[in-house]
Structure 1
């Protein structure tokens, strides 16, 4: 079952969908992850990390922009999953997201579903 949520009138191009299949919850975020969209994204991630032993994939492949509000959301989701002995993975390809995770000292904290693409030197 897929649920699609439009986040806010100020951010008409940001959406979150949630799909649960075979015990895996896939949360897809499209658009911007920032201070304006963070409260609604947090609500959706809280729903995904609520089960007793959650298995969650956060798909960021369609995220155009993410600031430190996004890092806070990811850390909160990871902590909630860890407290419930679950599993959380991130899926993304944008070098900017990998750079943000590294800058925040968080790159090693998150498992990825596929390795991020790096730019060639």
Structure 2
């Protein structure tokens, strides 16, 4: 009896991971996210169902390195749907410790300020400054 060949190397990675990586690294992507050494997460562009997972990953990574808290700079965000808002809220919920919020809002663009105001969520984040 011959053993079955190992075909695991022929299997592609899950489609979600591939799509997320290409969306995050594609120069034509509607969202860029940078994490500064001080833990400031700067988002620039559109946060939607395709780009929100990438932002969520960046927030999670920054919060792991800076458990005392990070600042989210949304001053260059031109659009954000409920998936993007969900990414902020999920990161906040997962990292609440000792009654303090480790995710602070830095400057926000007018579209982001409007979204936070309409959803009554701006008070959930420590610190808030309106940008642009």
Tell me the TM-score normalised to structure 1 length. Answer: 0.74
- Is the deviation greater in 6-15 or in 51-60? 6-15
Which residue of the partner structure matches residue 36 of structure 2? 19
Instruction: Pick one of 97, 100, 105 that aligns with 2:112.
Output: 97
Per the alignment, do residues 10 and 68 of structure 1 end up closer, same or farther by CA in structure 2, a change over 3 Å counting?
A: farther
Distance of 1:68 and 1:18 partners within structure 2: 22
Gaps of 5+ in 1: 1-5
Which residue of the partner structure matches residue 34 of structure 1? 48
Structure having the higher helix fraction is: 2
Per the alignment, do residues 93 and 41 of structure 1 end up closer, same or farther by CA in structure 2, a change over 3 Å counting?
A: closer
Please report how far the alpha carbon of residue 49 of structure 1 lies from its aligned counterpart in structure 2 after TM superposition.
Answer: 1.6
Tell me the TM-score normalised to structure 2 length. Answer: 0.69
- For the 8 Å contact 1:54–1:81, the answer to whether it is kept is no
Gaps of 5+ in 2: 1-22
Cα RMSD (Å): 2.8
Please report how far the alpha carbon of residue 81 of structure 1 lies from its aligned counterpart in structure 2 after TM superposition.
Answer: 2.9
